[in-house]
A = this chain, B = another copy of it.
């Protein structure tokens, strides 16, 4: 798990737990039926929405997003420029023996080595990017959906509790504690959605965008290699994909 996420999850949980334990009566905050309503209801609707395998897939995708690192775009640019230099000197065929780190770049280079036309290669790679983005959107959709369901089931649980409390209101002394229990599901739902599901969905969206940008960069680079562009010009062009402070070439040289 990457450091920021770890810090985020720990810090977020800590402030909530601190608030709960400093308040004195921490025991009241843990209530198994309330957990069951919120977690059970949220999972149940996720199953209806997308099917079981996609729910588990999304959890796997989310795990990946937090542990596997994306290729660094600067390094990918270096790799592409190196390949362009080699291709210029020794021809495209030699690229087959080069070690290539990024799997998408490797695949793209293989298409070049196989002698497909530039147009075909661009179409296949572009379609791959589009369809990968769509698959990622499914994963985000699962978490966004759970981010909608959790507060809804929290509210449903609270309504169930309120109805029970109101229907059998005999001893006024029990009203407070009963209502506290009823409110727990709303609290669980809000925490699950706002500390976990929604930020994770956002993280997946951000990550998908970064991966897409990396791949667009690779497609531009590989097309440049096929066209036999000057590697220095290509580097300058590919560096527009980086934030200004991450560029090494271009305007600094002037």
Contact = CB atoms under 8 A, between A and B. Distances in A.
Number of copies: 5
Contacts of A120: 233, 237
A240 B127 contact: yes
A7 B52 contact: yes
Interface residues of A, number: 102
A33 B47 contact: no
Determine chain A's interface SS by DSSP, over half rule.
helix
A44 B6 CA distance: 9
Interface string A205-242: 01001000100000000000000000001001100110
A234 to B, nearest CB: 11
A186 B176 CA distance: 21
Q: Which of A18, A24, A50 counts the most B-chain CB atoms under 10 A from its CB?
A: A50
Given A167-B176, A180-B167, A206-B49, A19 B160 contact: yes
A129 to B, nearest CB: 9
Interface stretch (A74-82, A85-93, A151-159): A151-159
23 contacts: A4-B47, A4-B50, A7-B44, A19-B33, A19-B36, A20-B160, A28-B167, A29-B160, A29-B163, A48-B195, A48-B199, A48-B203, A49-B199, A110-B251, A127-B240, A159-B183, A159-B187, A159-B190, A163-B180, A163-B187, A166-B180, A167-B176, A169-B177
Given A19-B36, A153-B194, A156-B190, 9 more contacts: A4-B53, A8-B46, A15-B36, A16-B41, A131-B241, A141-B202, A152-B193, A156-B191, A169-B176
Interface of A: 2-5, 7-9, 11-12, 14-16, 18-20, 22-25, 28-29, 33, 36-37, 40-41, 43-53, 55, 103, 106-107, 110, 116, 120, 123-124, 127-128, 131, 134-135, 138, 141, 145, 148-149, 152-153, 155-157, 159-169, 176-177, 179-180, 183-184, 186-187, 190-191, 193-195, 198-200, 202-203, 206, 209, 213, 233, 236-237, 240-241, 243, 250-251, 254
